[in-house]
């Protein structure tokens, strides 16, 4: 018999993390199997909270099932790509045709394909911090190096273009912009986007625009599609059905390549090669794209005052304002709150807190360090539950934070007596 040994895993995974579905989520599953009722706020999955995909999209899929049994073109079915072109043109994006559209199994697959098509060993990509951690992971897995530019909490998580510029080196290939932002809910002002574009055009950098939450904004926040500003560099815009249309399980995302298309031709060919190797993306879900983009946009009602997402967001904002141990920031878009804990709770550790919140209060959140930040006093929750559920959640969070505060006071008194 051969000696028993562990299967060696790839060194490429050393700098890869995805705690949103990591150890805490596994522990939550264990607790739920034991009969505990867990409120899971770690992931933006609308179906888990009762949201439905619009009926017209489901009917479009059913009507075209007979056309979905074989492989389709590696870039996606024509009606879906044509609908995406029309959407882009309606937003003011010039020069895009179906040849510059790729449909994938969610945006996640397209991020991986795009970075694999571009990066060589040691190439650098500027990624926001905090980020959606797939971006950092995908850069690292595809032989690159993720360099994080800060989106400071004190600036409502809006990046400073000068700080981005200071990180550009000879190895920098691209800048990632996540807007509206996951995990922070920030929506970037046009003036900031224009300065990022100016930097990219001046240095010949590709802009990757993660705009999966493009229609989820609140109050007077204005979403500006980055591709509408770009003229003299290559732009890759990512979006899809999962969030706006509450269709995560359909696994339909798209990448739109625009801007300086002549310079992008080799990249487009590389993307097509990689898309061909995986044959095609999920076909049934693609039949929902034309109906989704051309139909009634119900997301607007959900994000308006009185709408489900708006009122849940309001509950988060009010709860953070009412608790002096929490730092109140107002998410302008997306489906999350990135909640800070004040210095009133000294030596706060987001991972330890998240585990204790799960074990004691049966609430699952994502610790802030999951999003590649250098500080440990934040956690992310989603605003997908109804407002009443979120008020219950923050009551439990408040109870645990008060326990933390009492422990710190007790510890300080004991230390004082020793002195």
Q: Which residues pair with 177 in a beta bridge?
A: 209
E runs forming strands in 186-226: 206-210
**pLDDT tens by residue, 274-316:** 999 999 999 999 999 999 999 999 999 999 999 999 999 999 9
Per DSSP, the three-state class of 27 is helix
Residues 68 and 213 in one domain: yes
Q: What is the pLDDT of residue 255?
A: 98
Specify whether 389 is located in the same domain as 402.
yes
Q: Kindly report the CATH number assigned to the domain that includes residue 73.
A: 3.40.640.10
> What average pLDDT does the segment 336-344 reach?
94
Instruction: Give the domain CATH number at 42.
Output: 3.90.1150.10
Confidence of residue 3 (pLDDT cuts 50, 70, 90): low
Out of 294, 320, 354, a domain closes at 294
* Angle subtended by helix axes 387-418 and 350-361, to nearest 10: 120
- Residue 148, helix vs strand vs coil: strand
C-alpha to C-alpha distance for 259 and 416, rounded to whole angstroms: 64
pLDDT at 347 over 50: yes
Same domain, 208 and 246: yes
| Same domain? 309 vs 355 | yes
Question: Do 289 and 310 have their domain in common?
Answer: no
Quick check: 213 and 67 in contact, CB under 8 A? no
| Token duo for residue 197 | 């574009």
Range of the domain at 17: 12-51+301-411
Last residue of a domain, one of 267, 294, 321: 294
How many domains are there within the chain? Answer: 2
pLDDT class of 1 with cuts at 50, 70, 90: low
In a 10 Å sphere around its CB, with 0-12 CB exposed, 13-18 middle and 19+ buried, how is residue 58 labelled?
A: middle
- 63 shares a domain with 46: no
pLDDT of residue 418: 42
Q: Write the pLDDT tens digit of every residue in 74-107.
A: 999 999 999 999 999 999 998 999 999 999 999 9
Q: Is the pLDDT confidence value at 5 over 80?
A: no
Band (pLDDT 50/70/90 cuts) for residue 22 is confident
- Element spanning 235, H or E: strand 234-240
If asked whether residues 184 and 271 sit together in one domain, one would say: yes
Q: Are 123 and 30 part of one and the same domain?
A: no
Per-residue pLDDT, 274: 96
Is residue 79 located within the same domain as residue 20?
Answer: no
> 178 and 114: one domain?
yes
My answer on whether 184 and 253 are in the same domain is yes
In 3D space, the residue among 370, 333, 384 whose CA is nearest the CA of residue 130 turns out to be 370
Residue 23 in 3-state DSSP? Answer: helix
CA angle at 376 for the pair 371 and 378, rounded to the nearest 5°: 65
220: in domain = yes
Could you write out the DSSP letters of every residue in 301-342?
HHHSTTSHHHHHHHHHHHHHHH-TTEE-----BTTEEEEEE-
């Amino acid at each position: 018999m051969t000696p028993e040994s562990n299967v060696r895993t790839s060194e490429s995974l050393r700098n890869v993390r995805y705690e949103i579905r990591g150890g805490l989520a596994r522990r939550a599953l264990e607790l739920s199997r034991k009969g505990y009722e867990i409120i899971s706020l770690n992931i933006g999955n609308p179906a888990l909270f009762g949201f439905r995909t619009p009926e017209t999209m489901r009917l479009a899929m059913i009507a075209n099932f007979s056309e979905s049994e074989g492989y389709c073109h590696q870039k996606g079915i024509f009606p879906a790509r044509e609908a995406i072109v029309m959407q882009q043109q309606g937003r003011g994006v010039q020069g895009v045709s179906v040849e510059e559209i790729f449909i994938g199994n969610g945006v996640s697959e397209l991020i991986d394909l795009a970075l694999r098509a571009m990066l060589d060993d040691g190439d650098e990509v500027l990624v926001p911090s905090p980020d959606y951690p797939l971006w950092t992971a995908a850069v690292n897995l595809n032989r690159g190096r993720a360099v994080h530019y800060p989106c400071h909490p004190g600036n409502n998580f809006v990046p400073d273009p000068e700080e981005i510029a200071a990180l550009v080196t000879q190895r920098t290939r691209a800048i990632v912009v996540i807007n509206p932002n996951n995990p922070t809910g920030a929506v970037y002002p046009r003036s900031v986007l224009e300065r990022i574009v100016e930097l990219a055009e001046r240095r010949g950098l590709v802009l990757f625009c993660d705009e999966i939450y493009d229609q989820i904004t609140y109050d007077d926040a204005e979403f500006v599609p980055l591709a509408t500003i770009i003229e003299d560099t290559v732009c890759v815009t990512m979006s899809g059905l999962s969030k706006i249309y509450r269709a995560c399980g359909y696994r339909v995302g798209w990448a739109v390549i625009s801007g300086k298309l002549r310079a992008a031709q080799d990249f487009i060919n590389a993307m097509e090669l990689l898309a061909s190797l995986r044959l095609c993306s999920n076909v049934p879900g693609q039949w929902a794209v034309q109906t989704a983009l051309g139909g009634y946009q119900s997301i607007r009602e959900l994000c308006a005052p009185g709408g489900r997402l708006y009122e849940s967001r309001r509950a988060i904002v009010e709860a953070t304002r009412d608790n002096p141990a929490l730092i109140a920031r107002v998410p302008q878009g997306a489906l999350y709150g990135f909640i800070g804990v004040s210095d009133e709770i000294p030596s706060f550790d987001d991972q330890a807190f998240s585990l204790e919140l799960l074990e004691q209060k049966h609430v699952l959140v994502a610790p802030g360090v999951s999003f590649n930040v250098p500080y440990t006093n934040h956690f992310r929750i989603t605003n997908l539950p109804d407002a009443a559920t979120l008020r219950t959640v923050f009551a439990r969070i408040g109870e645990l934070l008060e326990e933390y505060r009492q422990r710190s006071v007790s510890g300080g008194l004991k230390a004082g007596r020793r002195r």
